[in-house]
């Protein structure tokens, strides 16, 4: 399982280096796991500028620019919030691309509207943003691992689609 994340991170790095694209992360429930996967690859400093682990609404708002009305109206675990997190990471860290995550990893914290296992992922590249709602509770560790993997997969697909358009 961890090997799949490592393989994805290697593939992401190869594309980033080849296309001269920079990357940042804005992570809540993944706690820096995406940044850790990226930086585990030798040479990642050439394309990875940094990440913000924004575990609280205060940090999402203050460092990433997530609007308070977005948090109030849609909640911290929402498509709207991760979109603003991704844009905020790109803006704050001055990168071409960003991956953002926010969710309920578990085992507690879920509600009827947002049960444990729901994790929103946003991947931004230039002016395009792709979002994904991960659902299903497989336990905290597995929920986080799947979110890391899904974020990397979405980034790769977005970059590969961009390359096909050139």
| Domains of the chain with bracketed CATH | 2-165 (3.90.950.20)
Token pair of 121 as six digits: 């992922």
At residue 163, the pLDDT reads 57
Q: How many CB atoms lie within 10 A of CB 128?
A: 11
At residue 161, the pLDDT reads 78
At residue 166, the pLDDT reads 39
10-residue stretch averages of pLDDT, the chain, 166 residues long? 88 96 98 98 97 97 98 97 98 98 95 95 96 97 98 95 56
How many helical (H) and strand (E) elements, i.e. helices and strands, does the chain have?
A: 6, 5
Calculate ∠ Cα 158-163-166, nearest 5°: 130
At residue 160, the pLDDT reads 85
Element housing 88 (H / E)? helix 79-93
At residue 162, the pLDDT reads 63
């Amino acid at each position: 399982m961890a090997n799949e994340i490592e393989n994805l991170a290697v593939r992401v790095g190869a594309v980033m280096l080849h296309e001269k694209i920079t990357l940042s992360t804005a992570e809540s429930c993944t706690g820096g796991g995406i940044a850790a996967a990226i930086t585990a690859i030798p040479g990642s400093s050439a394309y990875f500028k940094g990440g913000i682990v924004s575990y609280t609404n205060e940090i999402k708002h203050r460092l990433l620019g997530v609007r308070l009305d977005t948090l109030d109206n849609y909640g911290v675990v929402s498509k709207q919030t991760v979109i603003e997190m991704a844009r905020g990471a790109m803006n704050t860290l001055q990168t071409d691309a960003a991956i953002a995550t926010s969710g309920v990893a578990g085992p507690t914290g879920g509600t009827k509207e947002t049960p444990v296992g729901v994790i929103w992922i946003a991947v931004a590249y230039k002016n395009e943003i792709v979002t994904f709602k991960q659902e299903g509770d497989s336990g905290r560790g597995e929920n986080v691992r799947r979110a890391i993997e899904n974020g990397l997969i979405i980034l790769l697909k977005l970059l590969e689609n961009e390359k096909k358009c050139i």
